[in-house]
Amino acid sequence: MRALSLSRRSLMIAPAPLNPGDTAALVAPASPLTKDEISFAEESLKKLGLIPKTFAEAVPPSSAYLSAPDSLRAASLTEAFLDPAVKAVFCLRGGYGCSRLLPLLDPEVFRRNPKLFWGYSDITALHQFFNHTCNLITVHGPMPAKPSFLAAPGLISLLFEETLSRPGSFTDCGKPSLSFGDPFFLSEEHADARGKLTGGNLSVLCGLLGSPWEPDTAGRILFLEDVDEPPEKIDRNLTALRLAGKLQHCSALILGAFAGCFPSREQELSFFREHFADAPYPVLFGFPAGHIGCNHPLPMGAMVHLSRRPLLTTF
**Which residue numbers are catalytic?**
121, 225, 291
What would you report as the CA-atom Rg of the chain, rounded to the nearest whole angstrom? 18
Helices (H), the chain: 35-47, 70-82, 107-112, 124-128, 155-160, 202-207, 231-243, 265-276
SS3 category, 31: coil
Integer CA distances (angstroms), 176 to 119, 147, 263, 310, in order? 21, 17, 20, 14
Please give the backbone phi and psi of residue 35, each rounded to the nearest 5 degrees, phi first: -60, -40
Residue 183: closest CA among 18, 55, 310: 310
Contact 55, 74 (CB under 8 A): no
Question: Between vectors from CA 65 to CA 62 and to CA 67, what angle results, nearest 5°?
Answer: 100
Specify which residues 270 forms β-bridges with. Answer: none
What CA–CA distance (Å, rounded) separates 29 from 72? 9
Please give the backbone phi and psi of residue 168, each rounded to the nearest 5 degrees, phi first: 140, -175
